[in-house]
Copies of this chain bind each other. A is one copy, B any other.
Amino acid sequence: MGWKRSERLIDMTNYFIEHPNTLISLPFFSERYGAAKSSVSEDISILKDTFERQGIGKLVTIPGAAGGVKFYVKVKDELVKPFVEELCQFIENPNRLLPGGYLYMADIIGNPVLMDQVGRMLASKFAERSIDAVMTVATKGIPLAYATAKYLNVPVVIVRRDYKITEGPTVSINYVSGSSKRIQTMLLAKRSLKEGAKVLIVDDFMKAGGTINGMISLLKEFNADYEGIAVLVEANDVENRLVDEYTSIVKLQNVDVHNETITVREGNYFTKGE
């Protein structure tokens, strides 16, 4: 039984969203729907236009026998700007203030829909670069790393600060934390990252960048390299930042413990070219 166009479009939308960054051959869809290749091609051109207009993503057609079509997530800046503004206001709530000027962020990190949206934004920046894995450090960077990696269709590599028996052999390095200047250790399971891999480093928060710098050192031990660095929140007013090239969603402009005010601004996401 052949499918109606409307049914094909619904199923294909879901299929592409479930399979980002994956080459799908046209015969696959022809067989799936019992439809002529020309009908499937028309479907794809309808999808392509609507995906682009709505900031859902980009469909790229690769011609030839080994070709097909690939879906990349691609949000539109003007559609996600209001979301980032809302996020800034949400972080500015003075109830977040903890002793020592720390901010309670577990509700933000703990919101999977919000993390998914930020992951989609980050993946949009890096989707057409060749990224082999997303790297983060346990624990708070994990949700955003997964949200991003899912849209890039690459594995997540989790760096730890403590050894676990279930990791097998590990590689460890020492690094200097940027703000406290203490020597710390981080480690990564040896078999979790391939030699020469190109990695996107994702974390929830960056102050001086010591932790991210540690991850970069760890990458060197795997003969791997980073293609980009992305964080949800960057702290402002950092002397001697150890990392210079990065993408941030929001920037912690000021935390005034005395007057109990937090000021948060857009990060460099919208202004920085990639």
Name A165's contact: one of B102, B106, B154, B158 (CB within 8 Å).
B102
- In the complex, what distance in Å separates the CA atom of A147 from the CA atom of B50? 27
Interface of A is mostly: helix
Which residues of chain A in 121-172 are interfacial with respect to chain B, using CB atoms and an 8 Å cutoff? 138-140, 142-143, 146-147, 149-150, 153-158, 160, 165-168
Q: Does A191 contact B (CB under 8 A)?
A: yes
* Chain B neighbourhood of A54, CB < 8 A: 10-11, 14
* Min CB gap A32→B, angstroms: 10
Q: Contacts A98-B168, A104-B168 known; A115 to B189 CB distance under 8 Å?
A: no
Our pick among B46, B56, B138 for the contact of A138 (Cβ within 8 Å) is B138
Is A36 an interface position by the 8 A CB rule? no
Q: Would you call A235 an interface residue if the criterion is a C-beta within 8 Å of the partner chain's C-beta atoms?
A: no
Interface residue range, chain A: 35 or more
* Extra A-B contacts (4), CB below 8 Å, given A6-B6, A9-B13, A111-B155: A17-B17, A106-B191, A116-B150, A139-B160
Interface residues of A (CB under 8 A from B): 5-7, 9-11, 13-14, 17-18, 46-47, 49-51, 54, 56, 98-100, 102-107, 110-113, 115-116, 138-140, 142-143, 146-147, 149-150, 153-158, 160, 165-168, 189, 191-192
